[in-house]
Amino acid sequence: MSLRTEAFIDGQYREALSGHRFLTENPSTGQVLAEVAAGDSADVNLAVTVARRAFEDGRWSSGSFRASR
C-alpha cells in the first residue's frame, strides 16, 4: 500500500503551493512516519475556491453525485 503525502484538492493530489513539506512522527516513539505537504493559507484558499465552485455549479445540491458513486 502506498501512502499519499500530498494535499488532496479539486480531485487531485498536489504538493503544497509553497513546495514546503514537514515530517510527521509517531508521538509515542518519535519515529518519522512520513514527510507530507505543508499546506498553508494559499492552499486553504485554493481548496475553498474549488469547493465553492463545486457547490455553486450544483453537483452537490442534488443526489446525482451520490447516486453516481
Contacts of 7 (CB under 8 A, 6+ apart): 13, 14, 15, 16, 37, 39, 43, 47
Q: Identify whether 38 is part of a domain.
A: yes
Q: Identify whether 31 is part of a domain.
A: yes
Residue 64 C-alpha cell reads as 446525482
Distance from C-alpha of 32 to C-alpha of 35, rounded to nearest angstrom: 8
Q: Identify whether 17 is part of a domain.
A: yes
Give CA angle at 36 (30, 40), nearest 5°: 115
Q: Identify whether 2 is part of a domain.
A: no
The 10s digit of each residue's pLDDT in 10-43 is 999 999 999 999 999 999 999 999 999 999 999 9
Domain that holds residue 35: 7-67
Q: Identify whether 30 is part of a domain.
A: yes
Q: How many domains does the chain have?
A: 1
Q: Which pTM was predicted? A: 0.74
pLDDT level of residue 64 (50, 70, 90 thresholds): low
Q: Identify whether 22 is part of a domain.
A: yes
Q: Mean pLDDT over residues 53-65, rounded?
A: 74
